Amino acid sequence: MNVLLVDDDATYRERLARALRDRGMTVTTAATREEAREAAAASTFARAVVDLRLGETNGLAVVADLLGSDTELDVIVLTGFGSIATAIEAMKLGVLHYMTKPVDADELLAAFERPPTDLPDEHDLPPVPSLARVEWEHIHRVLTSCDGNISAAARLLGLHRRSLQRKLAKYPVRR
């Protein structure tokens, strides 16, 4: 089975590709939207695994490219920072499943075998998080992307370093 794996994290991409190859898959890897387009033009894939965040590019743009040229393609979107909005957007594009990282090869292959996830009804959606909760999650996401460097995270967030430290000292809001 021919699989396209699109992820900008080289270590994770190559580890997952090796694990899929060990399970009998033929895997082509791509780190960017352009590389994914080139791979899709050069070969036909039965399955694709796309990271939601590809550097400056949104992985959903890659999904739209792939499904625009091959509607029979089974696509799974992986993300380290999932949200309801992006999950719904991915499902509307036609992805099979939306999964949070880290995912191992066995989980991924099992997900390809499960029936597609249906879009949830409005009443089935979890409650919308409060603005305080969204702010807390965003601050921690930026801090993680800066490898814990508070000064760098404060610059990216447009905050004074001491203000960021005060916000980090607070416990997360429940909802």
Residue 85 pLDDT: 79
Q: According to the model, what pLDDT value does residue 153 have?
A: 93
pLDDT at 172 (0 to 100): 73
pLDDT at 126: 56
> Minimal CA–CA distance to 108: which of 120, 91, 119, 96?
96
How confident is the model over 73-115, as pLDDT tens digits? 899 999 887 777 788 888 888 888 888 888 888 888 888 888 7
The pLDDT of residue 155 is 94
Low-confidence ranges of the chain (pLDDT < 70): 117-128, 173, 175
pTM for this structure? 0.67
Q: Do 48 and 3 contact (CB within 8 A), yes or no?
A: yes
Q: What is the pLDDT of residue 121?
A: 52
Question: How many Å apart are CA 152 and CA 20, to the nearest integer?
Answer: 36
Can you give the pLDDT at residue 122?
A: 52
Domains, the chain, with CATH or none: 2-122 (3.40.50.2300), 131-169 (1.10.10.60)
CA distance 52 to 168: 26
